[in-house]
Amino acid sequence: MAAPVDEGVYLQECFQSLVTKCENEMQNSTDDSKHLLDCCMSRCKKIIQTLKDNDSSTDQDDKVVKALREYAQAVLDYTYVDECLLAEEDFPEADCKDRVHEIFCYLDKIEQVVTHCFAEKTLGVVLGTDIMECLFWRRGALLYMYCCTVHKDKARVRNNIQDFKQCLWKGVHHLKNVLSIREPSGATSACTNDHDTLGLLNIGAYSDTHLLSMMYAGDMCYWYLTVDSETQSDTASPTGGHNRGLVEEDISMKESGKEMLNAYLKAVHGPLAGLGWNSQRAEDLMKFFSSL
C-alpha cells in the first residue's frame, strides 16, 4: 500500500518541529554545536520545501522514503550535539540519565515516524542498511561512553548498580545489532578476488565502526560480569576470578563477550594484522571469559 498523499504534511510538521528545537538550542550553544545545529536546520528546511513542491513526475512513495531517510539523518545530527556535550562533561550525575533518555526518545521517534508513513514496511527496508547500523551504533556507543565513565566511579555504580547493569545489557544488545544488519553471504559475492576483504566481511567487520562495536561490547560484557565484585573490592583485574555463580543473564553476557571478541581477534590477527589495531585488551578479556 502506497504512502497517502497527506503524509507529506505530517512529515513537514516533523521537520519543522526539529527546526524549532535547533533554533532554541542555538541560543546557548558553542560554535561547534551551532555548526551541527545549522546543518540540521538546513537539511530540514530543504526537505520541507521538497515536500511542499507538487511534482507529479515523482513517485509519492519514493518521495516519502527519501524524506524519511533525511529525517533520520537530521535527528542523528541533532542528537549528536548533546552526545558530544555529555562526553565532554563526563556524564554529570545530576542530569545525564535524563539527557541520555531524551536522546533515545529522539532516536525512537524515527521508528515511530516511519511506521506512521509505512505501517506495512520494515524499518530497514525504508531507511536502508547504513542508517539502521548508525542508529544501533549511536545507541550502543552512547551507552558504552556512559558506562565507561560511570564504571570508573565505584561509589556512583554502587548507588544504582541495577540501573548500571541494565545500561550494559542494553548497550551490548545495540552493538550486537550493528553487526546483524548485513548478511555476510550476500555481501561477499562482489569481492571474491580479494581474500582479505572476504575474510573481514565473513567476520562482519565492514568498517572501523563494526570493529569498535565488537571491542566495546566485549568490555561491557566484562563490566557486567565483574561489577558486583568490583563495587565490593577494588582489586578485580581482567584475568581475575568471578566470586559468584553464573546465573542465566551472566551466561548470556559471557557468551556474547566471547562471540564479539573472537570476531575482533580474527580480524586484527588476520586481515588487519600490522595495521595498528591492538589486541591485548581483547586477549585479556577472552582469558577472563574462559575462566568462568
| 42 and 102 share one domain | yes
CB 13 within 8 A of CB 46: no
In a domain, 199, yes or no: yes
- Kindly tell me the number of DSSP H helices and DSSP E strands found in the chain: 13, 0
Q: How many beta carbons lie within 10 A of that of residue 131, not counting itself? A: 19
Helices 248-269 and 161-178, axial angle in degrees (round to 10): 40
pLDDT single digits (tens) 58-85: 788 899 999 999 999 999 999 999 999 9
Across the range 226-235, mean pLDDT stands at: 71
Alpha-carbon gap, residue 36 to 79, rounded angstroms = 10
| 173 and 108 share one domain | no
User: What pLDDT, on the 0 to 100 scale, is given for residue 24?
Assistant: 93
* 191 has pLDDT over 80: no
What mean pLDDT, rounded, does the chain reach?
A: 89
| 225 and 274 share one domain | yes
pLDDT single digits (tens) 26-39: 988 888 899 999 99
Among 127, 146, 164, identify where a domain stops: 127
| 283 and 246 share one domain | yes
Alpha-carbon gap, residue 139 to 189, rounded angstroms = 30
* 234 has pLDDT over 60: no
Alpha-carbon gap, residue 92 to 153, rounded angstroms = 12
In a domain, 142, yes or no: no
| 177 and 283 share one domain | yes
pLDDT single digits (tens) 158-168: 999 999 999 99
Across the range 174-196, mean pLDDT stands at: 73
| 163 and 251 share one domain | yes
Alpha-carbon gap, residue 5 to 105, rounded angstroms = 27
* 236 has pLDDT over 50: no
pTM for this predicted structure: 0.90
Range of the domain at 222: 155-292
What does the H/E/C string look like for 71-94?
Answer: HHHHHHHHHHHHHHHHHHCCCCCC
Q: Provide the CA 161 distance to its chain's centre, in angstroms.
A: 22
| 122 and 231 share one domain | no
| 94 and 225 share one domain | no
| 172 and 280 share one domain | yes
Q: What is the DSSP annotation of 160-207? A: THHHHHHHHHHHHHHHHHHTTSS-HHHHSGGGTT-HHHHHHHHHT--S
CB 257 within 8 A of CB 285: yes
Q: What is the DSSP annotation of 269-282? A: HTTTTTTT---HHH
Q: Provide the CA 29 distance to its chain's centre, in angstroms.
A: 24
pLDDT single digits (tens) 248-275: 888 999 999 999 999 999 999 999 999 9
Q: Is 173 exposed, middle or buried (0-12, 13-18, 19+ CB in 10 A)?
A: middle
Q: Which three cell numbers stand for residue 121?
A: 514496511
- Structural domain tally of the chain? 2
Q: How confident is the model at residue 235 (pLDDT cuts 50, 70, 90)?
A: very low
| 123 and 34 share one domain | yes
Higher pLDDT, 243 or 131: 131
pLDDT single digits (tens) 207-225: 999 999 999 999 999 999 9
Helices 96-117 and 60-88, axial angle in degrees (round to 10): 180
Phi-psi region of 140 (alpha: psi -120 to 50; beta: other; left: phi over 0): alpha
CB 126 within 8 A of CB 70: no
pLDDT single digits (tens) 79-124: 999 999 999 999 999 999 999 999 999 999 999 999 999 999 999 9
